[in-house]
Amino acid sequence: MSSTEKDPSRRIVVTGMGAVTPLGLDVASTWESAVAGRSGAGPLDRFDASRLTVQLAAQLPGVPEVDVPVKEARRFDPVVRYGLAASAEALRDSGLELSDDNRTGIGVSIGSGIGGIGTIIENHDILRESGPRRVSPFTIPMGIANMPSGYVSIHYGLGGPNLCHVSACASGAHAIGECAELIARGQAKVMLAGGVDAAILGVTVAGFAAMKALSTRNDEPERASRPFDRDRDGFVLGEGAGVLVLESLAHARARGARVRAEILGYGADADGSQMVAPDPAGTGAARCMRLALEQAGLEPSRIDHVNAHATSTPTGDPCEVRALEQVFGKHLQQLPVSATKSMTGHLLGAAGAVEGILTIRALEEGLLPPTINLEHPDPECQLDHVANKARRSPIRTALSNSFGFGGTNCSVIFGRVDD
């Protein structure tokens, strides 16, 4: 069944978006930087990284503002601040007016791969150096992964489902897909869905570096993230949040909301292969994309654009290309593919949500963001790359992929809604 034939109460649309990323502290500046091909990576200056092999990261360009008393905000782990800031922008963008009549039908699901790890590490150090009496009573509340969702729900007095999907780098994308299903089943009227992570810390950088997962191009951080390039040597660790306001098309029309895009299809599965490396054959990722296409009722040839997971790791990028080849066949030769992590770095649990936002902006503008630093395409990664410069293209449907440790896969298909 095509989207135009579906019951409007089961067609799920996006009416608001908010983001804080290494490219900007809102959606507009993030999008502007992305289409300009700017890198959000730079020297890691948040702490002394001189002993680390990796001394670069994609850090936020500032501290996001939140409408919370200063004393209360001081208790926040950055994941809570980032999630709240992105949610506030998404709600403003949606034009949704909160009232006693609608709050119980509005829920929140902001996924996170690692949660408030900074708070946990800080208080572990306090315990070791100063003893248990100095440990903060906010250690556990700010350390748990669901507190961004929880705090947003509390801040706005929302009584709908309050969830947190913890599925590594697919967390934000899973939140979008699962929230769409919740609304279609009638279990919520509106959902704030997305992802957040704030893991640029000594132990996480050292841990990823120990796995040989991070780029060590310390002398040229802005050129370090280079998906699909022959000379890639790992991803650039980033941070941020992305939140989307989801509701049924019927609900959006009833309140006169601007519809930014429709969620046409959602696929989720697992490789069942290895702990951190993707299935070399790309079988699970291919199956995941097919599940999304099946739900959307679309043939592969109907997809006009792909925002790839493409982290810039030597092993991961070719696996995704193999999966794309399995799904799209000859159509892949004329299917433009962007890898926006080349600019944002890898935002972990926030990646899928932020990339979903960039995919929607591409649909709205007919402008495909580039894959920067693509100087020598890997022979194993032959695609219609949107290389180094944004490309005009009047696209109607786009697929966004998100894959994560533990073999988890997620694909979301977004489409234009012109009526």
Choosing from 309, 319, 381, 410, the catalytic residue is 309
Residue of 165, 174, 305, 346 with catalytic role: 346
Active site residue 309: yes
319 is catalytic: no
Asked if 112 and 164 touch (Cβ cutoff 8 Å), the reply is yes
The yes-or-no answer on residue 385 being catalytic is no
Q: Which of 164, 165, 169, 410 is catalytic?
A: 169
Catalytic residue ranges: 169, 309, 346
